[in-house]
Amino acid sequence: MQTLLLVALTAGLWSFLHSLFITHGWQRWQKRSLPTLEPYSRLIYVVFSTVSLGVIFYWWMTLPQTLCWGWNGPWQVVRWAGILIALVFFALGALSYDNRAFLGLRQVVNHLRRQDGGKPEFSRRGVLGKVRHPWYTGTLLFFVFCLPVTDVNLVWRGVFILYTLVGTELEERKLVSEMGGQYAKYRREVGRFFPW
């Protein structure tokens, strides 16, 4: 039980920091306190998030675990169909987003060229015309179907699924405050996770 609590706490702490480091307040503090790092902040954020999550996952995989659900027999078809649909959402999102800006590479290049990148454009191209958050859809599906279910990964799956749902709502509020009526209209017309 203590191990499962520790898993929940590390997943919760990672989720909290992941959200904190992308807030407007943190970005304003960083720009004020560490202005030379500001053009690299998105890239640093992505690298830190990826590496820290990889380290945590590696640790979780070393923990003793009890199998709860193994996706046996015909359930394998359901599992792989879920993973395939998740990968489709990831791929469609990658085709629709500005991946260089998402990773922070565009900001670094603009800084080195002494160009102002301006604000990112609002886009409804590709899958974004049908689903507002295709990568979050893929993430939710992946968390459900990714591995045989154990006591340990059931805990981190639950924390990350909750984090994805709550984080999506917080991100949407941030986008409405940044883009106003344009994004509010988009919310009314396009499904959050699935087309509707």
Domain coverage including residue 29: 2-189
Residue 166 falls inside a structural domain: yes
What confidence score (pLDDT) does residue 127 get?
A: 94
Residue 28 falls inside a structural domain: yes
Structure tokens at 168: 């999506």
Which H, E and C letters describe the chain, residue by residue? CHHHHHHHHHHHHHHHHHHHCCCHHHHHHHHHHCHHHHHHHHHHHHHHHHHHHHHHHHHHHHCCCCEEECCCCCHHHHHHHHHHHHHHHHHHHHHHCCHHHHHCHHHHHHHHCCCCCCCCCCCCCHHHHCECCHHHHHHHHHHHHCCCEEHHHHHHHHHHHHHHHHHHHHHHHHHHHHHCHHHHHHHHHCECCCCC
Greater pLDDT, 133 or 115: 133
Residue 60 falls inside a structural domain: yes
Among 163, 121, 133, which residue's Cα sits nearest to residue 17? 163
Greater pLDDT, 178 or 163: 163
Largest CA distance in the chain: 58
Tell me the pairing of strands 149-150 and 67-69.
antiparallel
Residue 156 falls inside a structural domain: yes
| 116: confidence class by pLDDT, cuts 50, 70, 90 | confident
What confidence score (pLDDT) does residue 122 get?
A: 77
- The answer for residues whose C-beta is within 8 angstroms of residue 149's C-beta and 6 or more apart is 67, 68, 69, 70, 71, 157
Structure tokens at 92: 């469609």
Q: What is the mean pLDDT of the chain?
A: 91
Tell me the average pLDDT across 78-95: 96
Residue 100 falls inside a structural domain: yes
- The answer for residues whose C-beta is within 8 angstroms of residue 153's C-beta and 6 or more apart is 60, 65, 147
pLDDT at 117 over 80: no
Residue 109 falls inside a structural domain: yes
Residue 194 falls inside a structural domain: no
Give 20-66 pLDDT, tens digit per residue. 988 888 888 988 888 888 888 999 999 999 999 999 999 999 999 99
Rounded to 5 degrees, φ, ψ at 53 are -65, -40
Greater pLDDT, 84 or 125: 84
What confidence score (pLDDT) does residue 118 get?
A: 66
Tell me the average pLDDT across 161-165: 96
Cα(143)–Cα(133) distance, rounded to whole angstroms? 16
Tell me the average pLDDT across 92-114: 89
Number of structural domains (the chain) is: 1
Tell me the average pLDDT across 142-151: 94
Tell me the average pLDDT across 165-191: 89
Share of the chain above pLDDT 70, in %: 98
pTM: 0.86
- The answer for residues whose C-beta is within 8 angstroms of residue 87's C-beta and 6 or more apart is 138
Residue 195 falls inside a structural domain: no
pLDDT at 179 over 90: no
